[in-house]
Amino acid sequence: MTTRPAVLFVCVHNAGRSQMAAGWLRHLAGETVEVRSAGSEPADRINPVAVEAMREVGIDITANTPRILTSEAVQDSDVVVTMGCGDACPFYPGKRYEDWELDDPAGQDIEAVRPIRDEIRRRVEELIASLS
């Protein structure tokens, strides 16, 4: 029996980029990948513009809530994708780490968030291909 790879997306507030990435991965990979997201300083709620941008492409992330990044979440993941959290992410040997440089959607309007959403999709598609 093969176990599903676990992917953890991390950004500072776990309210925009990491939530959109988690939404894309769940949508595109289904049950083949275990999806997690967290933030080093989680916000109170998900960025409403990120929710709107994902709704435009048929993905509902409204029920998601920002979560605090824990060492256990990193240890239990096969791939850790960071998005602007810098040194806040714990490092464990043997884990695969990727750092995606993406604009922060915080405080931006929908026109500015759409290209971020689309770039995240492109990177998630590449990630899925690399996991197979």
CATH number of the domain where residue 64 is located: 3.40.50.2300
Q: Report the C-alpha gap between 55 and 80 in whole angstroms.
A: 25
Q: Report the C-alpha gap between 103 and 80 in whole angstroms.
A: 18
Looking at residue 92, its pLDDT comes to 76
Active site residues: 11, 85, 89
Looking at residue 94, its pLDDT comes to 81
Looking at residue 1, its pLDDT comes to 40
**Residue 75 within any structural domain of the chain:** yes
The residue whose two tokens read 């197979």 is: 132
Q: Containing domain of residue 33, as a range?
A: 7-119
Structurally, the chain folds into a number of domains equal to 1
Q: Which is it for the CA torsion 32, 59, 130, 104, positive or negative?
A: negative
Tens-digit pLDDT profile for the chain (132 aa)?
458 999 999 998 999 999 999 999 999 999 999 999 999 899 999 999 999 999 999 999 999 999 999 989 999 999 999 997 666 666 778 889 999 999 999 999 999 999 999 999 999 999 999 997
The residue whose two tokens read 């990727």 is: 98
Q: Report the C-alpha gap between 93 and 113 in whole angstroms.
A: 34
**Residue 127 within any structural domain of the chain:** no
**Residue 67 within any structural domain of the chain:** yes
**Residue 105 within any structural domain of the chain:** yes
DSSP alpha helices (H): ranges in 42-109?
48-56, 71-75
Looking at residue 2, its pLDDT comes to 54
pTM over 0.85: yes
Looking at residue 62, its pLDDT comes to 95
